[in-house]
Homo-oligomer: A and B are copies of this chain.
């Protein structure tokens, strides 16, 4: 095999997703993922710590996007408005990959250990969001509360978007809908 491995990471991810949905997550080995991608196990481990991590490769990118958008929101924007701007910024990333996002979600939903890792990633996302808000001068506990509320909005809207097989509403509207609903509940 050549040392030249164009987009090894993407090929491994695609191979893993195919195998997880064909055979199930538990029945798939790293060796099989590497073989399907035409790569070695060693290459796999250069890109991912384990076979769970393949499903969470996007979370660092998501966190960067969210944090960057919060930092870049208009100076006078209130915390929840900065979060709204950030949600808009990440919505298109999910929209563009809708089928793959839905496939991933169905794999995660079927495994307790994957759901647990998802919870951990969401918790990191909330911490990073709170830090980004503090960076804008938002005090505690407002920063942490806004961050947790923002992640709740993200989560609920995301679930509704994933479950909306008729594609009635894009993710951006789901985010807006949930933000408005949260305001109505707490108002």
Name the B residues within 8 Å of A141 (CB-CB): 156-157, 160, 177-178, 181
| Docked pose: A157 CA to B142 CA in angstroms | 11
A80 touches B183 (CB 8 A): no
- B-side contacts of A187, CB under 8 Å: 183, 186-187
Complex Cα gap A152–B142 (Å): 11
A185 near B152 with CB under 8 A, answer no
The answer to whether A156 touches B178 (Cβ under 8 A) is no
- Mask: chain A, 140-164; 1 = CB below 8 Å from B; 0 = not: 0110111011001101110010000
List the B residue with the shortest CB-CB distance to A78. B185
Contact for A152 among B116, B148, B157, CB less than 8 A: B148
Q: A120 — which chain B residues lie within 8 A by C-beta?
A: 116, 119
Query: Shortest CB–CB separation between residue A154 and chain B, in angstroms?
Result: 10
A123 at the interface (CB under 8 A from B): yes
A119, A146, A148, A177 pick with most chain B CB within 10 angstroms: A148
Chain B nearest CB from A54 CB (Å) reads: 19
Interface pair B119/A186, CB less than 8 Å apart: no
**A182 adjacent to chain B (CB < 8 Å):** yes
Does the CB pair B186–A149 fall under 8 Å?
Answer: yes
Contact partner of A142 among B78, B153, B155, B181, CB < 8 A?
Answer: B181
22 intermolecular pairs with C-beta atoms under 8 Å apart: A78-B185, A79-B185, A116-B120, A119-B120, A119-B123, A141-B156, A141-B157, A141-B177, A142-B181, A142-B185, A145-B152, A145-B153, A145-B156, A145-B178, A145-B181, A148-B149, A148-B152, A148-B155, A149-B149, A149-B186, A183-B186, A183-B187
